[in-house]
Structure 1
Amino acid sequence: MTRGNQRELARERNMKKQQTAKAKNKEDGLTYEQRKQRDADIMRQKQQKKEQAQQAQPAKS
């Protein structure tokens, strides 16, 4: 037992890490299809913003 309490400390750190990961991954109550639709809408909005920004800038040669 030359390791002392390293194994025990590592387990405690891992438990803390897993608990914070669970807190970050909150369930939003959406089904897979609803989540997919929501993400697609967000991506379309981002794409429209990008296109508008490109149109607002003068074309560079």
Structure 2
Amino acid sequence: MTRGNQRENDRARAMKKAQSQKKKSEGDPTKRREEQAAIMRKKQKEAEDRKAADGKR
């Protein structure tokens, strides 16, 4: 076998990456959506405020 333990290392790395991605989607989906919506509303308000400030100049 010419690859040595590279295949095993790659599998371990892929498993670790998959576990970290699962953590991002944990929790109640409804609550997560509400939190994301609140963040987006805040960002939109900030963007509108910036546009209004640029328009007043």
Structure 1 length as normaliser, TM-score?
A: 0.64
Which segments of 5 or more consecutive residues in structure 2 lack a partner in the other structure?
Answer: none
CA distance change for structure 1 residues 29 and 22 in 2, over 3 Å: closer, same or farther? closer
Name the aligned partner's letter for residue 58 of structure 1: G
In structure 2, what is the Cα distance between the partners aligned to 1:44 and 1:30?
Answer: 21
CA distance change for structure 1 residues 48 and 7 in 2, over 3 Å: closer, same or farther? farther
**Structure 1 residue aligned with 2:10, among 2, 13, 34?**
13
Name the structure 1 match of 2:29.
Answer: 32
Whether 1:45 aligns to 2:42 is: yes
Deviations 1:30-57 (A, max 9, x none): 3110001000100110000000000001
Structure 2 length as normaliser, TM-score?
A: 0.67
RMSD: 2.7
As a proportion of its length, which structure holds more helix?
Answer: 2
Report the count of equivalent residues. 56
Greater gyration radius: 1
In structure 2, what is the Cα distance between the partners aligned to 1:25 and 1:56?
Answer: 41
Which segments of 5 or more consecutive residues in structure 1 lack a partner in the other structure?
Answer: none
